[in-house]
Amino acid sequence: MAYVTAGLLLAGAATGPSAIAAKKKNNGSVKKEAFGKTADGKAVEAYTLTNKNGLKATVITYGATLTEMHVPDKNGALGDVVLGHDNLDGYLDGHPYFGVTTGRVANRIAGGKFTLDGKEYTLATNNDPNHLHGGNEGIDKKVWSARAVRSKTGQAVAFSYTSPDGEEGYPGDLKMKVTYTLTDDDELQIDYLATTNKATPVNLTNHAYWNLAGKGTILDHVLHLNADHYTPVDATGIPTGEILKVDEVMSFIKPTKIGARIAKLAGEPGGYDHNYCLNKEEFGKLSVAARVEDDSTGRVLEILTTEPGIQFYTGNYLDGSEVGKGGWKYEFRNAFCLETQHFPDSINQSHFPSTVLRPREKYTQTTIHKFTVK
């Protein structure tokens, strides 16, 4: 981001020891701090990554959760663009998955059941009548281990957790590593790695709630989704099995305000909560999935991913009862989510891209959130 870099250079234009100190100060850093303890006494830590341009991302070990993302607006002023809480209690008391790493299987599994290699497995139906985001105590409610790691592109922290065989009903020991890197190109890159000793479904993602204006409605944000098709769902949010071409209401191929056609969506509480099938030349290849612009601040978020799908959600269940950072009551349409993923209920839909991971295989996924201004 040229204007940020230029500002830093001007600030340090003087010569001598002070100029050298300023230059070193802007090389980026990783800072670890205590963030409280869980009810059973486990310590939770917060890692704040700062890049050379001053952008900041904070991730806590509880749920490998992105709690803050500070990026500049068109005037160079930093602002936090993700919803969340100021302290650990806000996350422990229950919340709508603000910024968490979700899984083992993100999104929904029909009826909380699946059959794999001839054996039926039963999971919690925590989104009645379906299973959602890993169950009652998914990986978003676990304390992960973490350590700063070397990266050629910026500042990075790797979070690790092993989900034991049978946890939340899933088979196999699933070893997971999620690495957050805040690059000097103003990108928040998330790399996922998982291995198992038994065949098991895996679908990991980050569940950040974004608001590029920092506060208020997201209906005027302009969205482009690189998807010609989507998977329609039944009344409980489970894909019907169809893969349909986007119609006028569902299409964001042409950049369109999020609120332009949202009122035409039927059902309560209304709004987008759909999986889009990304246009990809090659499965598993990093490509552009979405771009969001906020005219009021000039902030732009571009998302690239190796995943085949992306869940677009418009904060349909935010109703003001959730009090977040600085006492902000999170209201209807105060945020959007763009969760890169395999399609919902893929374990029960054989024609969807498979989510099954087997021993001696590696699950990998990369998603990049790139921040610019216009």
pLDDT of residue 25: 54
Phi, psi angles (nearest 5°) of residue 195 = -135, 160
- Sign (positive/negative) of CA torsion 271, 372, 304, 29? negative
- In order, the DSSP letters of 291-326 are EEE-TTT-EEEEEEESSSEEEEE--TT--S-EE-GG
- Sign (positive/negative) of CA torsion 193, 91, 322, 125? positive
| C-alpha 237, offset from chain centre | 19
CA–CA distance from 267 to each of 155, 226, 321 (Å)? Answer: 43, 25, 21
DSSP 118: T
The CA distance from 223 to 228, in Å, is 14
Q: What is the pLDDT of residues 283-312, one digit of tens each?
A: 899 999 999 999 999 999 999 999 999 999
Just list the catalytic residues.
Answer: 207, 339
Owning domain of residue 168: 2-373
Task: Report which of 305, 30, 35 is spatially closest to residue 144, judged by C-alpha positions.
Answer: 35
The CA distance from 86 to 7, in Å, is 29
Q: Are 120 and 110 in contact (CB under 8 A)?
A: no
What does R_g of the chain's alpha carbons equal in angstroms? 20
Q: Are 372 and 303 in contact (CB under 8 A)?
A: no
Residue whose tokens read 């990026």: 71
Phi, psi angles (nearest 5°) of residue 140 = -70, -15
Query: How do beta strands 309-313 and 322-323 pair?
Result: unpaired
Q: What would the two tokens of residue 207 be?
A: 């569940």
CATH code, domain carrying 124: 2.70.98.10
| Burial (CB count <10 Å: 0-12, 13-18, 19+), residue 78 | middle
The CA distance from 15 to 23, in Å, is 11
Question: Count of domains in the chain?
Answer: 1
pLDDT of residue 269: 63
pLDDT of residue 268: 61
The CA distance from 250 to 274, in Å, is 9
Give 184's contacts (C-beta < 8 A, 6+ positions apart): 28, 51, 52, 53, 153, 154
pLDDT in tens, the chain (374 residues): 332 222 222 233 343 443 334 344 568 999 999 999 999 999 999 999 999 999 999 999 999 999 999 999 999 999 999 999 999 999 999 999 999 999 999 999 999 999 999 999 999 999 999 999 999 999 999 999 999 999 999 999 999 999 999 999 999 999 999 999 999 999 999 999 999 999 999 999 999 999 999 999 999 999 999 999 999 999 999 999 999 999 999 999 999 999 999 999 977 668 999 999 999 988 899 999 999 999 999 999 999 999 999 999 999 999 999 999 999 999 999 999 999 999 999 999 999 999 999 999 999 999 999 999 99
Q: What would the two tokens of residue 339 be?
A: 């969760």
pLDDT of residue 40: 96
